[in-house]
Amino acid sequence: MTEDVMRIDSRKLSQEDIATMNELKELGNKFVHICTMYGSNRELALARTNMEQAVMWASKGISA
C-alpha cells in the first residue's frame, strides 16, 4: 500500500498542539496586518503570501 500523503487517517490533536497552531496563526495574522499597513506592492504581497505558506506548513508539521 502507498503512503498516506493526503492524511486520510489523521491523528487527534492535543490541546497543546491546538494552542501552538493558534499561536502561530495569530503571529501570522499580526505579520500580515503590519505588511498591509505599508501598502500593496509586489514585495509586500509576496511577504504576505509567504507568511500564509509558512503558517500552513508549520500547522501541517505540528499535526503530522
- Quick check: pTM over 0.85? no
**Cell 514585495 identifies what position?**
43
pLDDT score of 45: 97
Listed in sequence order, the residues at least 6 apart from 52 whose beta carbon sits closer than 8 Å to its beta carbon are 28, 32
- Each residue's pLDDT expressed in tens, for the chain with a length of 64 residues: 678 778 777 789 999 999 999 999 999 999 999 999 999 999 999 999 999 999 999 999 998 8
pLDDT score of 10: 77
pLDDT score of 2: 77
User: Cell numbers of 18, please?
Assistant: 491546538
Distance CA 32, CA 37 (A): 9
Q: Which stretches within the chain are classed as H helix?
A: 15-37, 42-63
